[in-house]
Structure 1
Amino acid sequence: MHSTRPSSPHLPELDRRGLLGAIIASALCLGVPRRALAAKDIARVDDLIGRMTIEEKAGQMTCLADSFRPFNPPNPSVGIQDEKRLAQEIRKGRVGCLFNGIGVAGARRAQEMAVKESRLGIPLLFAADVVHGLKTIFPVPLGEAAAFDPELAERTARAMAIEATAAGLHLTFAPMADVARDQRWGRVVEGSGEDVTLTGMLVAAKIRGFQGRDLRREDSMLACPKHFAAYGAVAAGLEYGSVDISDESLRETHLPPFEAAFGAGALTTMAAFNEINGVPATADRALLTDILRTEMGFTGFVFSDYTADEELVAHGFAEDDRDAARLAVLAGVDMSMQSGLYIRYLPELVKSGAVPMATVDVAVRRILYVKAAMGLFENPWRSLDEKAEASRIATPAHRALAREAAARSIVLLKNDGVLPLDADKAPKIALIGPFAEDRDNLYGPWAFYGDPGKGVDIAAGIRAALPAENRLAVVRGCNIHDGINGGIASAVKAAKAADVVLLAIGEAQDMSGEAQSRTAIEIPAAQQELANALAATGKPVVVLLRHGRALALHDGVANASAVLATWFLGSEAGHAIADVLFGKVDPSGKLPVSFPWESGQEPFFYDRKSTGRPVLGQGSTEYKARYTTTDNSARYPFGHGLGYTRFVLDRLRLSDTALRWDRSIDVSVRITNEGPRSGSEVVQLYIRDRVASRTRPIRELKRIERVTLDPGASRTLRFTLSRSDLEFVGAGNRRIAEPGLFDLWVGQSSAGGLHAQFTLYAEQAGER
């Protein structure tokens, strides 16, 4: 069973002893030895802070783009310094962290300057956006979330950490802990979807994988869950947009995954670009200090996002850059990314009294304690080993894991029996579409360091699976956004000559990710036209969707014989797709996001509220909460996903229909594989609080369990629920549970399932 509300130490006062104790507690939760913050580390940090000038303190609080190494991913070109200028800044002690460069040689040059040529010799921290792979690219996070498997998420994160630390990195700006409920938002692709519980499970797993059991190990990489907070709630899915939500929604939907992250040992986090209720997160002391530290017990340090402190001016919240630096540091932003505001303005702000030196010292102490916990003072050359760089990156084992993860991320949305294909019978296959032989869009966004030439495209994967290459015809048909002269005619000809059509369509990778909000989450018109023409041939069409969000599917796509969500699957995409198409791997993915009927339904998510006028079953829709042009449901709901065998649930049993206040109830259900082959299923448990002092969602996911069974085999699964699983945020922002009746479902998606009820009773009998 999984919990998404791990206990976290609370930090009522941000003094040195309290911070140290909380960091030690967090370190011990990770299994990091107590020596990670031994007395000598504390003494070293005390000594350094006592000797540092305000300029050197501001330097530790500054993170700049890495000019020593060959690659800086695209970002707004703000404040980029050449290597010579950056080297001067490091020698002066005016840089604490470099980001988004990889390679041991360049990192060693920079670290030599910091350790041997600066006055105090404080080592640099090297960071980068390693979101779903360094050289071995795994499925995009949203795709991997479809596996509904924290253990897999931990394994892929561990592989990423092994590669990234071999390339000279200490920290990754991942995982994204934002709950994303509007598929128009481009950064849906970077997270785990629309559900709070699933996101919390996967975020915690990623952090365990990135950081390992000991932060001082060469292959341990600090995780930085982001974006704190509520970035996934930007209005209308518009990138960098505003967020206007209730405290209840903030605390119930958007904060729990961060609680899970900190409970798993994360010692850094990143403030969000967005404002919340009129206050930009980067300047929100109530968010970054009162909630994050005092309430949630976060013990590490906070990054700004890229130039987000400087952007307080454009928000209309700061008068100028100096004021922006003041607001950010007073709010609780410890490290400024790329703007350079802290190094430019903190010395004068402290001298004038606008920022207390004590505030700066707290921020620097947080940063230095984390560096100490990593062992950087004892070994500034950790993760800077040329031998590791030559041996630990893009290994066969990592490629095998990428193939496994990719296959398990695929979701079979629809199948009229055409799949799986029988490779031994060598069907004539027409592979059609702009992504059939495409390698430029295999990886998806946030895979800056991967080599596209080493990715396996769909055609290559299918050829490797077929006994004879002449059974496969490949036709592009159209481009991603526009047609090709004669393209549809060639595609139709190929389809008519084939036994089955594989149609590879969807989004280019630059249509998802940061700054890629879309008003219509649909297949581009040229590809839709191709799909409609192929549907008219009468041949069975299997749609292979490439995408970084849920899509609204129409006509020839929606009505195809089979539809698979294949996301951006990474290095082994082609092999993984072939594994599923030919039945080598039974599809077992489940949707982490709801597929709407129409774009206009967004934001759409399964755990919505009922309203006072819900549409009930097949009843009247007049004067009800609905759209006039579409069904008030999902085409494919959260948790949906088919396989090649048939699982049946029965014998739902509750140990008691009365849940006592400080006790628990057990839920059991039998699952049987009644199909012809082995397969895996994800069994999902949902609840609903029927009557409460705050209206509650129509369903909430509480438990998942993956089970693999041979044909004819059965297994009884058991779940345990307690009062804490029924809590919600009530009056005064308190987490409460209220006595009363609850619905419970155990099923294979968020729709349907076996149903039961139980009642939560208070400690003493009484009225609700």
Structure 2
Amino acid sequence: MEPYEDPRLPVEDRVTDLLARMTPEEKAGLLCHGRMLAGDRGPYRSGAELIGERHINHFAMMQVPSPGEMARWNNHVQDLAAATRLGIPVTLSSDPRHGVVSNPATAHTGGGFSPGPEPIGLAATDDPDLVEEFARAVAGELRAVGIRLALHPMADLATEPRWARISGTFGEDADRAGRMLAAYVRGMQGDSLASGVACMTKHFPGHGPQADGEDSHFARGKWQAFSGNNLEQHLKPFEAALGAGTAQMMTCYSIPGGSGLPEVGASFSREAITGLLRERLGFDGVVCSDFNVLTGLDIPGLGELPPRNWGVEHLSLTEQLLKLLDAGVDQLGGETRTALLTDAVRDGSVTEDRIDASARRILRDKFRLGLFEDPYVDPEAAEALVGSPATRELGRRAQRRSLVRLTPRRGALNRIPASPAVYVENVDPAVAACYGRVVDRPEEADLAVVRLQAPYEQRESPLERHFHSGSLEFPPEEIRRLEALCATVPTAVDVFLDRPAVLTGLSSAAALLTGSFGAYDDLVLDVVFGRRDAEGVLPFDLPSSMAEVEASFGDVPFSMPNPLFRCGRRAGG
């Protein structure tokens, strides 16, 4: 047994021993964090090539077909890793898998995992204990299939209402977001990383203030607008995550215009990573760039994304790499071209000591996770644990607790007959049939229940369609249709608030208005039929108009002077 293989030795001693044995090529592989599909399907290079030839041992898992198959795939890639010269185990990572929003660039659903609400819904519960309990269950399911690094949570503040990724945040209030983030990190990582899942909190130093709400996955969204000079507020949730011990950090694509930081994406900013994160906030863990800042990505059926090298497009690829390393990045998200690193070391552009500093941080987490002791999982146990009745019920409880009642119950909704006739839109009729007789026409109904998606503008590119952007107002013809429905029959309206929709017309027309953040139909119907009240708190301001949104400061919480509903609103209060 070599010293680095001896679990009795301190982690730092094991890291030092292993690092001294590694070649430049093996270190370069350690600094790359690729993508992988279970079964080597799709455009990504095979695990055998990436692990055996390029020495890469960090992979973000994309779509996962089932818990058992994912567990077997983990064991397969660990066998490939064990056959390499030093036997360095693979760390598998993943974007969120326990919500209801599926976006091939940011989050996944399916695979048998137990869904709760979106993170913004966890914030709406206003219950750190519940958030920690749910995160612990999430970690248990991820561990069962071999995923030991979570590419979440998002510590970004929802200060720009038009931004497409608000559902992945913990809201607009920095203090509440910090409490929920800390609870989430504690639940995910457990008492020690050996019994938990490491968190890579993102997107430092804050992704929320996107100019006009456009997302920086795309060139039109490369700029942020710190028009209120409020960078400090956006650092608060990251400080809370650091206080809870988050293992790793991911940087932001965006150029922080008006923040006082250099006008380059955070991955290329020494002032952001070394100055703010390391020196001021004291973080010495792994810093990973957001994915594909150097290399573009082709997503099957959705098209090609160019590199998100915002602010340094004029530099050569080698110059961009050197700027990343000088900024303080340890690991290159989405990159598999290890030769970029080895060539830079050979020609003297980068010292091996600089590579070693990052390799040390990365190895430290592999040892802390216990992967050198046992990287394998039990496929049968994974099938039994993932999506178990107990965990699914916990997810349902979190969904139920996240529902927000925005207006009081009005009129006939306080006097629902014992066997009502119910008209529904965007509600499963089979579920609604458990509450009354489902009818086809509003005129035949005692009440109507309508579930809506917060409005957005359809974009042209297939991938950008997954990022809900643009106006937060429903089209006038849709408002007229809904007002006519409400005039015909008492109507309960629930809106999925993945962004803060303008609900001014609906708030006065509907007999009941609720907000949801990922919840099953029956949980919403329980509220409509008075079996339960909605307990959640609104995690952001809801604007009264788009004019108010456009006049507000996108980096300043609560900068709309006259919102329709204020953040913190609970049960129609």
User: How high is the TM-score relative to the length of structure 1?
Assistant: 0.64
Output one character per residue of 1:497-524: Cα deviation in whole Å (capped at 9) or x when no partner.
2211212222489979986252211235
CA distance in 1, matches of 2:554, 2:269: 31
Equivalent residue, structure 1, for 2:470? 519
Q: Give the 3-state SS of the residue equivalent to 2:230 in structure 1.
A: helix
CA distance in 1, matches of 2:476, 2:51: 51
CA distance in 1, matches of 2:374, 2:251: 29
Give the counterpart of 1:239 among 212, 215, 218.
215
- CA-CA distance at 1:216 after TM superposition: 1.0
CA distance in 2, matches of 1:261, 1:280: 22
The 1:294–1:232 alpha-carbon spacing in structure 2 relative to 1, beyond 3 Å, is same
CA distance in 1, matches of 2:522, 2:532: 11
Output one character per residue of 1:29-48: Cα deviation in whole Å (capped at 9) or x when no partner.
xxxxxxx9964432221122
Output one character per residue of 1:538-572: Cα deviation in whole Å (capped at 9) or x when no partner.
x2221121231111124356421210112322xxx
Paired residue type of 2:343:
E
Equivalent residue, structure 1, for 2:547? 600
Q: Any conservation in 2 of the 1:92–1:118 contact (CA below 8 Å)?
A: no
Map 1:594-633; keep pairs closer than 5 Å: 594-602=541-549, 604=552, 632-633=561-562
Paired residue type of 1:581:
V
- CA-CA distance at 1:132 after TM superposition: 3.2
Equivalent residue, structure 2, for 1:81? 44
Equivalent residue, structure 2, for 1:453? none
CA distance in 2, matches of 1:521, 1:258: 28
CA distance in 2, matches of 1:157, 1:237: 28
- CA-CA distance at 1:585 after TM superposition: 2.1
Map 1:267-666; keep pairs closer than 5 Å: 267-277=247-257, 278-310=263-295, 311=307, 313=309, 315-317=311-313, 319-341=315-337, 343-381=338-376, 384-418=377-411, 425-431=418-424, 433=425, 435-437=426-428, 459-464=429-434, 466=435, 469=436, 471-473=437-439, 475=440, 494-507=441-454, 516-524=467-475, 527-537=478-488, 539-556=489-506, 558-569=508-519, 573-602=520-549, 604=552, 632-642=561-571
Equivalent residue, structure 1, for 2:27? 57
- Larger relative helix fraction: 2
Q: Percent identity?
A: 29
Q: Give the 3-state SS of the residue equivalent to 1:82 in structure 2.
A: coil
CA distance in 2, matches of 1:565, 1:609: 20
Output one character per residue of 1:420-448: Cα deviation in whole Å (capped at 9) or x when no partner.
667772222221x2x223xxxxxxxxxxx
Q: Any conservation in 2 of the 1:111–1:124 contact (CA below 8 Å)?
A: yes
Output one character per residue of 1:247-297: Cα deviation in whole Å (capped at 9) or x when no partner.
96222x111111111111111111111122412101111111121112111
The worse-fitting range, judged by mean Cα deviation, of 546-555 and 413-422 is: 413-422
CA distance in 2, matches of 1:576, 1:276: 40
Matched, 1:100 2:93: no
- CA-CA distance at 1:59 after TM superposition: 0.2
- Larger relative strand fraction: 1
The 1:607–1:357 alpha-carbon spacing in structure 2 relative to 1, beyond 3 Å, is closer
The 1:527–1:399 alpha-carbon spacing in structure 2 relative to 1, beyond 3 Å, is farther
Paired residue type of 1:271:
T
Q: Give the 3-state SS of the residue equivalent to 1:544 in structure 2.
A: strand
Map 1:172-187; keep pairs closer than 5 Å: 172-187=150-165
Equivalent residue, structure 2, for 1:195? 173
Equivalent residue, structure 1, for 2:104? none
Q: Any conservation in 2 of the 1:267–1:298 contact (CA below 8 Å)?
A: no
Map 1:151-162; keep pairs closer than 5 Å: 151-162=129-140
Q: Any conservation in 1 of the 2:163–2:213 contact (CA below 8 Å)?
A: yes
CA distance in 1, matches of 2:18, 2:554: 52
Q: Any conservation in 1 of the 2:124–2:403 contact (CA below 8 Å)?
A: yes
CA distance in 2, matches of 1:128, 1:509: 27
Give the counterpart of 1:263 among 243, 249, 254.
243
The 1:419–1:43 alpha-carbon spacing in structure 2 relative to 1, beyond 3 Å, is farther
The 1:372–1:588 alpha-carbon spacing in structure 2 relative to 1, beyond 3 Å, is same
Output one character per residue of 1:662-694: Cα deviation in whole Å (capped at 9) or x when no partner.
xxxxxxxxxxxxxxxxxxxxxxxxxxxxxxxxx
CA distance in 2, matches of 1:214, 1:524: 50
The 1:183–1:112 alpha-carbon spacing in structure 2 relative to 1, beyond 3 Å, is same
CA distance in 1, matches of 2:518, 2:117: 6
- CA-CA distance at 1:143 after TM superposition: 2.1
Paired residue type of 2:399:
A
CA distance in 2, matches of 1:427, 1:596: 34
CA distance in 1, matches of 2:416, 2:293: 53
Equivalent residue, structure 2, for 1:229? 205
Output one character per residue of 1:427-486: Cα deviation in whole Å (capped at 9) or x when no partner.
22221x2x223xxxxxxxxxxxxxxxxxxxxx444333x3xx5x222x5xxxxxxxxxxx
Paired residue type of 1:100:
M
Map 1:131-146; keep pairs closer than 5 Å: 132-133=98-99, 135-146=113-124
Give the counterpart of 2:95 among 117, 129, 141.
129
The 1:308–1:167 alpha-carbon spacing in structure 2 relative to 1, beyond 3 Å, is same
Q: Give the 3-state SS of the residue equivalent to 1:577 in structure 2.
A: helix
CA distance in 2, matches of 1:121, 1:273: 33
Q: Any conservation in 1 of the 2:164–2:215 contact (CA below 8 Å)?
A: yes
Q: Any conservation in 2 of the 1:131–1:173 contact (CA below 8 Å)?
A: no
Q: Any conservation in 2 of the 1:69–1:107 contact (CA below 8 Å)?
A: no
Matched, 1:166 2:144: yes
Q: Any conservation in 2 of the 1:55–1:347 contact (CA below 8 Å)?
A: yes
The 1:535–1:610 alpha-carbon spacing in structure 2 relative to 1, beyond 3 Å, is closer
Q: Give the 3-state SS of the residue equivalent to 1:564 in structure 2.
A: strand
Give the total of aligned pairs.
525
- Computing the radius of gyration over CA atoms, which structure comes out larger, 1 or 2? 1
Equivalent residue, structure 1, for 2:230? 249
Give the counterpart of 1:206 among 184, 188, 194.
184
The 1:159–1:609 alpha-carbon spacing in structure 2 relative to 1, beyond 3 Å, is closer
CA distance in 1, matches of 2:568, 2:507: 21
The 1:316–1:299 alpha-carbon spacing in structure 2 relative to 1, beyond 3 Å, is closer
- CA-CA distance at 1:418 after TM superposition: 4.4
Q: Give the 3-state SS of the residue equivalent to 1:232 in structure 2.
A: coil
- CA-CA distance at 1:419 after TM superposition: 8.0
CA distance in 2, matches of 1:511, 1:436: 23
- CA-CA distance at 1:212 after TM superposition: 1.4
User: How high is the TM-score relative to the length of structure 2?
Assistant: 0.85
CA distance in 1, matches of 2:199, 2:383: 24
* Gap runs ≥5 in structure 2: 1-5, 65-69, 100-111, 217-221, 258-262, 296-306
CA distance in 2, matches of 1:269, 1:121: 26
Q: Any conservation in 1 of the 2:117–2:402 contact (CA below 8 Å)?
A: yes
Paired residue type of 1:345:
L
Paired residue type of 2:32:
T
